[in-house]
Amino acid sequence: MKPWLPSILALAMSIVYALGAPLAGVAQTMPVLAPPACAAPPCTAPIASTQLPNLGQVKTEIKAYYTGSGYQTEVASVEADAQSYIDARAKVVKKPALVLDIDDTSVLTYDYEVKHDFSYDSITWNDAAVKGFPPVDATLALAKHAEAEGVAVIFVTGRRVDQLALTRDNLVKDGYPIDGLYLRPIDDHAPSVVPFKSSARAQIESQGYTILETIGDQWSDLLGGHAERAYKLPNPMYYLP
């Protein structure tokens, strides 16, 4: 589940930072780089209107990015590098694992975002999640490749535990192998998901796994260690601390 952050400036800049040099399609060994200053919460310092992008134009550009080849090309590049690392390490370490975020890493919520004009409310989002989201094709291919190489595929998501059944059903329907599924506790009200996600990875390691990679579309999916490598996928639609 994700809260909507209204600062379109922060959203627009997030894709520039995520895809720009030196991060475009390149793995980040842990610890990963932090997001740029003032990504969240939005900067509160005065700013001239001429420095702000036009909201309508930004939405149009985001739609073009997803409906054209931009998004698929960027994701495929990142996932290809991730696969190469799996191939290099899978037979070397004991109990290798791949950790994946879910929303806009494993499944794509773009259709929901467009339908609701890039806004969010819990009721409509939950209804959409019950129906299920389509897979991110490159991530699905990577997960299947990892499974074939003997790598456990484990999901760590900010979705709450009361959505366990519908989340598992969506992943199974999309064809994902599932060796573990960690959802955020309902009573976890921390302002960031970093503590939950990093502790989940630590718990996975405590079971004897070596986490080769953690992959997500938010910086908060990656920060906190407990993985050999971290890969950030592009997401200009929203930001989650």
Residue 98 domain-assigned (yes or no): yes
Residue 238 domain-assigned (yes or no): no
pTM score = 0.82
With tokens 């209107």, the residue in question is: 49
Residue 134 domain-assigned (yes or no): yes
Instruction: Please return the burial class of 207, using the count of CB atoms within 10 Å of its CB with bins 0-12, 13-18 and 19+.
Output: exposed
The CA distance from 170 to 108, in Å, is 11
User: Structurally, how many domains does the chain consist of?
Assistant: 1
The CA distance from 217 to 235, in Å, is 6
Long-range contacts of 170-174 (CB under 8 A, 24+ apart): 170/107, 170/129, 170/132, 170/133, 171/102, 171/106, 171/107, 173/132, 174/106, 174/107, 174/132, 174/134, 174/135, 174/140
Per-residue confidence in pLDDT tens, the chain, 241 aa? 444 333 333 333 333 333 333 333 334 444 444 444 455 455 566 667 777 889 999 999 999 999 999 999 999 999 999 999 999 999 999 999 999 999 999 999 999 999 999 999 999 999 999 999 999 999 999 999 999 999 999 999 999 999 999 999 999 999 999 999 999 999 999 999 999 999 999 999 999 999 999 999 999 999 999 999 999 999 999 999 9
Residue 214 domain-assigned (yes or no): yes
In one-letter notation, the amino acid at residue 85 is Y
**Contacts (Cβ under 8 Å, ≥6 apart) of 60:** none
CATH number, position 218? 3.40.50.1000
Identify the domain containing residue 175 by its residue range.
8-25+52-232
Residue 34 domain-assigned (yes or no): no
Residue 103 domain-assigned (yes or no): yes
* Closest CA relative to residue 53, chosen from 15, 25, 23: 15
How far does Cα 95 stand from its chain's mean position? 23
Residue 217 domain-assigned (yes or no): yes
Residue 206 domain-assigned (yes or no): yes
Query: Tens digits of per-residue pLDDT, 171-204?
Result: 999 999 999 999 999 999 999 999 999 999 999 9
